[in-house]
Structure 1
Amino acid sequence: MKQRLFIVISFVFLGILCIHLIVGRKKIVTANDVQRPIAIPASRSNSNEFSTQNETMKTAHSKTTTDHTTTQVQTTNTSEPNPICIAKQNNIVFLKVHKCGSSTVANILQRYTYNNALNALLPDKDPTEQSYWVLNRLKEQYMSQIIPIPEGESYNTMFVHSVHDHDIFKRLFPNNSYYVAILRDPVERFISYTFYYQLVAKMKEDYPQSEDNPYIFSKALLKKPFPYGVLGPSYDLGFLPRGKVNKTEVDRFIDNIDKDYDFVMIMEYFDESLVYLRHQLCWDIKDILYIKRNVNFEKRGYALSQKDRQMIKAIQPVDVPLYDYFYKQFWNILKRQHVSFFEEVYNFKKILSGVADYCNFGRKLKPEVLFAKTQWHDAFSVTSEDCSKMKWSEGHAITILAKKAREKYKNSKMKN
C-alpha cells in the first residue's frame, strides 16, 4: 500500500513539474520585442524650455478640441502592422509653408483633387495677374478672395500659399477635415530661402569679400538686426509678433498649432512622413507618388561655420523652437510604428525610383509602367498622363483646377 502511494505521489509531482516547465518556458521574441533598427536622435535642445510634457503624440483622428473633432479612418498601433482603413479622407487642409518641400506635397493634393473631382479652396484671380496661384492672408471678407462652390457643398482641399487663420479655416472646411503642415530644419530652410529669393547676390554686393571665400553669410549675420527680411514657417502658421518675442507667447503659439494640426510633416524625413500620412488618410500608394519639385541647383559654393549656424538660429526665435517641438513629436510617432512601417518606406523609395525612371525616360518608349502587388498595396500602373500631372507647375495646376471650379459653379447656377 505504501509503495503504491509513493508511486502515485511521484507521478503527481512529475506532472506538476512538467506543467511548470511548459508555462514558464522562455518567451518567443517577436518584432515588437526587438528595438527598432533606427537610431532615435537625442533631444535637439539642451534645455527643457520647449519640451512637451506629454510624450505621447495624439492620434490624428482621435483628437478632440472644443471646435474640432475628427472620427475618421484608423489609428496606428505597433501591434498592428497593417491597420484596417474604413474610408478615404477627402477633406484635407494643407498649410503650404515656404521652402519646406511644400510644393511637392501641394502637387500630390492637386492631383488628388483633380482625380476625385473635389472642391479646392482657390484664389479668385485672373490668370494674367501676378502670383495668381497665391491666396495669401485671408481677410474677414474672405469669400470675395476665393472661387465659390455650388450651394450645399463644402470645400474639401487646400494647398495654395496662405496664412493660417483658425477661425476662418474652421468656417470654410468640414469639422472632420485633416490638417497638415510641413517644417524643415531652420538653418537649411534659411539657406534655401536666401538663395531662392536671390538674397545671396544682395549680400555679396553689400558685403564684398574675396571670391574664394565660401563663408558668404558671416558678415551679414553679424549685423544687428539682420538686414534682410526672411519670412519663416511661423509667419505662414499665423504668428504675429507684437514687439519683442517672449517664451510665453511662443509656447502659446506652438500649443495652438499643435491643437489645430493633426500632423506636421518633417522635410528631412519626407518619405516617412508621406507613408504615415497615407495611413492616416487611407489613401492608395499611387495617391502619394511624386517627382521632386522646385529643386534649386544654384544653391552651392557656400559654407557655414558653427558660429554662422548659431547666428542663423538666433535670428529665428520662433521658428527654431517650433521645429524642435514638432521634430520630437514626429519621432514619437515613428517610435510607435511596427517594423512593417519601415519596410513599407523602403518599398516606397524603390517605387519612387521606378516612377522617376519611367517619367523622365521610359514613357517615350511605352504608355505605362506596372508595379507588382506587395503586402502594402495592390498592383497599379503609372501612365504617361500620370507623369504629366506629377510635373505640373504650380501655376499650371491652379489654372486647370480654377477653370474646372468656375465651370462647376456656373453649371450649378444654371441648374438652379
Structure 2
Amino acid sequence: MNYMYNHYLVLCTMAGPFRHGRKAVLSIICCTSLLILMVCNIAELLINYQSVLVPLPPQPIITEYTEPPKRCHPREHIVSLKTHKTAGSTLASIFQRYGMSRNLTFVTPIGNRTAFSTGIKTNIVYGYSIVVKYLGGFDMSVCHGHYSRTEMNKIIPNATYVTTIRNPVDRFVSSFVYYKYYEQVHIPYNTENILSKFFTVKDFSSKIKYGRSQLANGIARDFQVNTTGSITNELRRIDHDFDLIILSEYFDESLILLKNLLCWEMDDLLYLSIRKHDKTYDHLYNVSDEVKSHIVGINSIDAALYEHFNKTFWQKVKAYGPRFSVELAELRRRLGMLHRECSASVRQDSHNKWGFNEYKLLPNDTEYCKKFFIVDDDNTKQYRSDLKRKLMLFEKEKKTETTNGKWGS
C-alpha cells in the first residue's frame, strides 16, 4: 500500500499546476485517490496498533506437569536384559518394586544363584514347567544372563524388551575398579597413572581371571553379538528385538521414555542410587586420550553399539516432543523429594571391597523408604522364596486332588 501511496503522490504533484480542462479533471481524480489511500493507510495503522494493545491469545506452552489421560494399559510382561556396570541393578530394582507390589512372577535361576552365569534357558529357570503350565506363566525377567530371544519367548511370550548400555570408556573404568584388574596384574592401587600402566602389562588379558568377560566387549557378549559377522546386521537385529535401550549416563531421560513405553505412572519409576563408586576412585575417570584409545581398541564392538544406540536414543527423545522436558523436570522433582524424605534415614558405610559406598537404613526408617534400599539381589532371594511357597502349595493341592480323584492325568 505504501508503494501505491507514493505513486499517486507523484502523479498529483505533476498534475497540480494544471487548473483547466482535462488536466484539471486528472488533478481532481489523483487527489481524491490519494485521500482514499491515506484513509485506508490510517485504518491499517490503527488495526496494527490495536493488535499490539490487545494481542492474540498465545500458543499453549506446557509449564506445569499434568498427567495426560491414559489411552493404554500398563505393560507387565517385561524382559530386562541386565548388563554389567551399566546401572542395571538400579533398573532391576525399579522393576522388582513394581512387580512385587502387584504379585507378579519373576524368572529366577535354579539353586541359590541370583544370576544366570550363561544364557537364560528353560531348563535352568526355577519352577519353569509348573509356573508356565499351571500358574499363569512368568511376568518379568531382570537377572543377568546372555540374551537369547528364542529361549525368552518360551519363558515370557509377547514381552517388552529393554536393557542398558554405557559409554565403553566409563564402563571399563567401572569394571577396572569393581573387579580390581590392577591387583590381578600386580599393580599397586596407588600407582600413578595406573590405567596407563595397566596397558603396558604384557598379555594383560590372559592374566585377568575374575571379571575377564567384561574386560573387552562385555556388552556385545551380553547381547550375544556375532563378532565374526557384519556389525550392521547385528545392530539391525538388536534394534528389532529391543523396544528401548537405556543410556546409563542419561538414566532419568531414559526413564521418561520407559514410562511412555510401559504406560506406567511417574511414581513407578522412582529410585535411589544406593551404590555409588567411592570418591577415592574419582581420579580414574579422568582418562587421557591415550588410555581412551586403548580402551576403545579392545572394546571396538561395544563402541559401535554405543555410538549407534546413542544416536537412536536422542531420535526418540526428539520424537517425544516438548512434553519431554516437562516430564523430566517432574521426575527429578519427585526424586528430589524422595531423597530429602529418605536420606535422613541413611548412613554412609566406608567403601567396601567392591569399590563403592553402600547406604543403609537406620533403625528409625519408614516402610516407604525401606523398599528403596533393598538391593536387587535381596529382592531376587525374596521373590524366589515366595515362588517356592507357591510351588509347595501347588504340589500340596495337587496331591490332595489326586487322592480325591479330581486331578486329571
1:279 and 2:260 correspond: yes
Aligned-pair CA distance for 1:226: 4.2
Does the CA-based 8 Å contact 1:154-1:174 persist in structure 2? Answer: no
Residue of structure 2 in register with 1:220 after alignment? 199
The Cα of 1:83 is off from its aligned counterpart by 6.6
With a CA cutoff of 8 Å and minimum separation of 6, indicate the structure with the bigger relative contact order: 1
Q: Which has the larger radius of gyration?
A: 2
- Normalization by structure 1: what TM-score? 0.69
Q: How has the CA–CA distance of structure 1 residues 240 and 137 changed in structure 2, closer, same or farther, with 3 Å as cutoff?
A: farther
Distance 1:27 1:323, change over 3 A: farther
Aligned to 2:82: 96
Whether 2:125 is the aligned partner of 1:125: answer no
Q: Which residue of 2 aligns with 1:156?
A: 139
Q: Which has the higher helix share?
A: 2
Equivalent of residue 374 in structure 2, options 392, 397, 411: 392
Return closer, same or farther for 1:27/1:163 CA change in 2, 3 Å cut-off. farther
Pairwise CA RMSD? 3.5
Q: Secondary structure at the match of 1:314?
A: helix
**Matches of 2:375 and 2:120 in 1, distance apart?**
27
Give deviations 1:220-259, integer Å, cap 9, x for gaps: 2575674443521111112254xxx46x1x2222221111
1:334 equivalent in alignment to 2:317: yes
Give the TM-score normalised by structure 2.
0.70
Task: Tell me the distance in 1 between the aligned counterparts of 2:236 and 2:90.
Answer: 27
- Amino acid across the alignment from 1:359: C
Q: C-alpha separation between the residues in 2 aligned to 1:27 and 1:223?
A: 73
Whether 1:105 aligns to 2:85 is: no
Per the alignment, in what secondary structure is the counterpart of residue 162 of structure 2? strand
8 Å CA contact 1:31–1:339 kept in 2: the answer is: no
Q: 1:85 aligns with which of 63, 71, 85?
A: 71
Counterpart-to-counterpart distance in 2, 1:221 and 1:328: 33
Give the 5 Å matches for 1:11-410: 30=59, 82=68, 84-126=70-112, 132-138=113-119, 142-148=122-128, 149=131, 151=134, 153-175=136-158, 177-203=159-185, 205=186, 207=187, 211=190, 213-220=192-199, 223=202, 226-227=205-206, 228=208, 229-231=212-214, 232-241=218-227, 245=228, 248=230, 250-297=231-278, 298-302=280-284, 303-361=286-344, 384-410=366-392
C-alpha separation between the residues in 2 aligned to 1:259 and 1:328?
A: 15
Q: Tell me which moved more, 101-110 or 343-352.
A: 343-352
Deviation at 1:306, TM superposition (A): 0.5
Contact 2:120 2:148 in 1 (8 A): no
Amino acid at match of 1:146: Y
Quote the Cα distance in structure 1 between the aligned partners of 2:275 and 2:346: 22
User: 5+ unaligned residues in a row in structure 2: which ranges?
Assistant: 1-35, 348-364, 399-409
May I ask how many residue pairs the two structures share in their alignment? 324
What letter corresponds to residue 394 of structure 1 in structure 2? D
CA contact (8 A) 1:123 1:145 kept: yes
Displacement of 1:81 after TM fit?
Answer: 9.4
Give the gaps of 5 or more residues in structure 1: 1-9, 35-79, 127-131, 365-382
State the Cα deviation string for residues 190-239 of structure 1 (Å, max 9, x = none). Answer: 00011011113334x2x579x56234334425756744435211111122
Residue by residue over 1:149-192, the C-alpha shift from the partner in whole angstroms, topping out at 9 and shown as x without a partner, is 261512110111111011101111122x1100000100000000
CA offset digits 1:11-40 (Å, max 9, x no partner): xxx9xx99xx99xx99998579x9xxxxxx
Q: Is the 8 A contact 1:81 1:341 kept in 2?
A: no
Does the 8 Å contact 2:296/2:303 carry over to 1? yes
Rounded Cα–Cα distance in structure 2 between residues aligned with 1:299 and 1:147: 42
Separation of aligned partners in 1, 2:376 and 2:56: 55
Alpha-carbon separation, structure 1, partners of 2:270 and 2:135 = 32
1:340 to partner: Cα distance: 2.2
Letter of the structure 1 residue corresponding to residue 292 of structure 2: R
